[in-house]
Amino acid sequence: MSTPDLTFEVDGAVAVITLNRPQKLNAVTPEMAEAIEAAIAECDASDVIRCVILTGAGEKAFCAGSDITTLDAYETPWQFRNRGDYCDAVRLCSKPVIAAVNGYALGGGLETAMSCDIRLASDNAKFAAPEIKLGWIGGGGMAAGLAHSIGASNAAMMILTGDPVDAATALSWGLVSEVVAPGRLMDRAREIAAVIASRAPIAAETAKVNLRAAHNMPYEKAVEYERDLQTICFATEDAREGRAAFAEKRPPVFRRR
């Protein structure tokens, strides 16, 4: 799964995907996009992996989006429209994904971070939707992700100016959950990942589906859907184990069954 420009590591129940092109601010090439898709597919297929951390190598950048120098390789706008999208792969991952944003998250890099379920940032992180400065707009969920995360006015500010916001602003707007020192970022991401990995995995994956549905469904339908998902979880062996462990005053042993 690992390539020179992307590393994939599994430590217990936690997978770490690292964009490994720091000399180019971890800008994503088509080959890297394919590697991201393959790494996510491996996480989806694994009964061992229960949480994923996505980060960038080096101290300057999480990801600067797609490598602009590769975009002229698309012969037509339609071919560009139908390219494989790494943001889609991250967003559709069945396992919970934590973005550890170290430095710049620009364009597709910001969209990638927003495609994750939880976002942590180092205090030197910067976030921007700079596509308007180059003559286009984001296409990996930029407007929807920002509007959901930070509200319509703040989303418009970022998208229409293309200017960056710092980590403190991102935290105050709700774009990230926590801001920590750069040297603490991966440790904190691993701490949260370990907690998630210790929970019932079917319930965690179902909760992720439920959270996404809550964004897209009318309130009453969302509650109805949530109740159906709860019933599915309640029927699992893990749910029975959780109830038994509670009664016996011991830690549960979840087996994703």
Q: Which residue among the candidates 9, 31, 34, 111 is catalytic per the annotation?
A: 111
Superfamily of domain 200-248: Lyase 2-enoyl-coa Hydratase, Chain  A, domain 2 (1.10.12.10)
Q: Which residues pair with 98 in a beta bridge?
A: 53, 118
Q: What is the pTM of this model?
A: 0.93
* Triad 33, 45, 61: Cα angle to 5°: 35
* Triad 3, 194, 35: Cα angle to 5°: 15
Please name the residue that has the structure tokens 């694994």.
46
Count of all residues that appear for the chain in the document: 257
CA atoms 236, 223, 94, 17: torsion sign: negative
- Order of strands, edge to edge, in the sheet holding 126-128? 61-63, 104-106, 126-128, 165-166
Cα 125 from chain centroid?
A: 16
At a CB cut-off of 8 Å and minimum separation 6, what does 36 contact? 6, 17, 19, 28, 86, 89, 90
Domain ranges of the chain: 6-197, 200-248
- Residue spans of the chain under pLDDT 70: 1, 72, 74, 82, 84
* Triad 231, 233, 236: Cα angle to 5°: 115
- 111 catalytic per annotation: yes
Structure confidence at residue 1 (pLDDT): 63
Q: Which residue among the candidates 59, 131, 178, 237 is catalytic per the annotation?
A: 131
Question: How far, in Å, CA of 144 to CA of 29, rounded?
Answer: 24
- 37 catalytic per annotation: no
Instruction: Please give the CATH architecture assigned to the domain spanning 6-197.
Output: Alpha-Beta Complex (3.90)
